[in-house]
Amino acid sequence: MATVAISAEREHYLNKEYGIRSWLLTTDHKRIALLYLISITFFFFVGGFFALLIRLELLTPAGDLVQADTYNKLFTMHGQVMIFFFLIPSIPAVLGNFLVPLMIGAKDLAFPRINLLSWYLYVIAGVIYVHCILTGGVDTGWTFYTPFSTAFSNTRVIEAGIAIFIAGFSSILTGLNFVVTIHRMRAPGMTWSRLPLFIWAHYATSIIQLLGTPVLAITLLLVVFERAFNLGIFDPNRGGDPLLFQHLFWFYSHPAVYIMILPAMAVESEIVACFTRKRIFGYNFVAMSSIAIAVFGFLVWAHHMFVAGISLYSALIFSILSYLVAVPSAIKVFNWTATMYKGSISFTTPMLYAFGFIGLFTMGGLTGLFLAALGIDVHVHDTYFVIAHFHYIMVGGAVMGYLGGMHFWWPKISGRMYPEGWGRLAALLVFAGFNLTFFPQFILGYMGMPRRYWQYPPEFQVLNVLSTAGSTILAVGYVLPMIYFLWSMRYGKIAPDNPWGAAGLEWKTTSPPPTFNFEEAQEVTWEAYNYEEIPAPAEVSVER
């Protein structure tokens, strides 16, 4: 048996069956993860294309590349594509789908067919949204604010709303599958306190998806009803309240930020522990801080509305609650740093992304505190300061985490190693390009440049040119991994089962794993991150 497993024809999830049917009708969580990988990569480049057009328009103060109407559509569709079709499914639906069952020693997610259904819902939503883009697009801003979206916009709001409504159900079903799987499918001995932190963070994410997304669904549905059937729930002409829309919208859309960042933190914990070869510092605190972020995340939504006309007292309370989110976030950052302290750090590609994540997330988080402060928010509200802040979280945090995770688990997913030199180069390009793109926007915002305008006064040009220049570097940094990942599938070095000497059940099975994940049933008798018991592999160079 053991000799067969090593031979070249070893059967695994990728070569068990061939043909388009075996992929489109698969219920294997690993294959569904790859289906998601392909579809979200497509939307990442669609969203990136819009971003590039935005940056090109802002190269000069005049509105020369596109006119105001087109510009409105560009930033709207950039936001909607990136948030609903890339960031929210990115880590959970790709890495989470692939790894949650593997990490807890299960053969699959609890509901494999619902898992496939969630991908199909995503694709249906994606097709509707692409149709919306191709037939004129939408210009409401990603936030769909009423009454503009319900009464004034002449673009395809209904179509965009329905697409995002359906994408929401895809997200709900993924979350539901994860929660049930984590509760009911753990291998014998895999107690809650032995779960990898990746699982804890995905558990917290799933709770947000389950409780938040339906509220967005009903809100968008009411907007669609208002446009399509003339209902008047948010219509100020009939006594409806646009602020109610904002409350309902942000009740989901603020926690949605944690849907994006928590899985990146999940990846971060795994990478940091592996490449410092230490048990993560303060396991319980890191695990519980994920839950705390999920809980607090539901109590801070109105900090998006400080200048929208909510009462001073509620603004005060939401401001204080928003500060509270900083506590569990800081616990995570401090614990990762403490894990590195006196660890044997190796500067592999995933670890470079992990370092980048910590730095950028810290910047994004701290500027979030500026925005949570009532006085400063009045000054920088709706300026590029806000844009820079949330891009530091969503791109500097979530996308860095996603890319780090993709590199870390690529050997497991594909059975091949990616070229390490190119990987490090791309990681550095992403980090440099990102900072050059978005750091100038903090300054622009502080100087008062408002968001969502296609023209600006000439004195802002230097910083805008820097930002556009950075975005091109960033684009190269994003295209590179795509090229060498594809290249490595054919030409990469064959990956051993555990190339990094990492702890965790997913590394105990073969690379790539067999369809049912493990050749034999697993029983867990060790704590998570038992790095003192695992020898460091020779291939990963340890540089001190």
Residue ranges binding other proteins (CB under 8 A): 1, 4, 10-11, 106-112, 114, 172, 176-177, 179-181, 183-185, 210-215, 217-219, 221-222, 225-226, 229-233, 237-241, 244, 248, 514, 516, 518-521
CB atoms within 10 A of CB 530: 12
Whole-number minimum distance, CB 17 to other proteins, in Å? 13
For other proteins, which is the closer residue by CB, 180 or 317?
180
155 touches 137 (CB < 8 A): yes
Whole-number minimum distance, CB 30 to other proteins, in Å? 12
For other proteins, which is the closer residue by CB, 177 or 290?
177
For other proteins, which is the closer residue by CB, 94 or 179?
179
Taking the CA of residue 155 as centre, how many other CA atoms within 13 Å lie in the half-sphere pointing to its CB? 25
AA identity, residue 362: T
The runs of H, that is alpha helices, within 298-449 are 312-340, 349-372, 374-380, 384-391, 400-414, 420-447
Whole-number minimum distance, CB 203 to other proteins, in Å? 12
For other proteins, which is the closer residue by CB, 61 or 232?
232
140 touches 152 (CB < 8 A): no
For other proteins, which is the closer residue by CB, 185 or 428?
185
Distance CA 245, CA 304 (A): 12
For other proteins, which is the closer residue by CB, 224 or 271?
224
Whole-number minimum distance, CB 224 to other proteins, in Å? 11
Q: Tell me, rounded to whole angstroms, the distance of Cα 99 from its chain centroid.
A: 16
Alpha carbon distance, N-terminus to C-terminus of the chain: 41
Distance CA 106, CA 415 (A): 20
512 preceded by a cis bond (ω within 30 of 0): yes
Distance CA 198, CA 404 (A): 13
515 touches 257 (CB < 8 A): no
Residue 535 in tokens: 């020898």
Burial class (CB in 10 A: 0-12, 13-18, 19+), 421: exposed
At 292, which helix (H) or strand (E)?
helix 283-297
Whole-number minimum distance, CB 218 to other proteins, in Å? 4
AA identity, residue 229: F
Q: What is the DSSP letter of 140?
A: S
Whole-number minimum distance, CB 173 to other proteins, in Å? 9
For other proteins, which is the closer residue by CB, 109 or 331?
109
AA identity, residue 84: F
For other proteins, which is the closer residue by CB, 74 or 216?
216
AA identity, residue 323: Y
Helix 283-297 with 197-229: angle, nearest 10 deg = 10
Whole-number minimum distance, CB 501 to other proteins, in Å? 27
Whole-number minimum distance, CB 459 to other proteins, in Å? 44
Whole-number minimum distance, CB 511 to other proteins, in Å? 16
For other proteins, which is the closer residue by CB, 11 or 459?
11
Whole-number minimum distance, CB 232 to other proteins, in Å? 5
For other proteins, which is the closer residue by CB, 27 or 41?
27
Task: Name which of 324, 336, 218 is nearest 268 in CA terms.
Answer: 336
For other proteins, which is the closer residue by CB, 454 or 518?
518
Whole-number minimum distance, CB 309 to other proteins, in Å? 15
Distance CA 322, CA 296 (A): 8
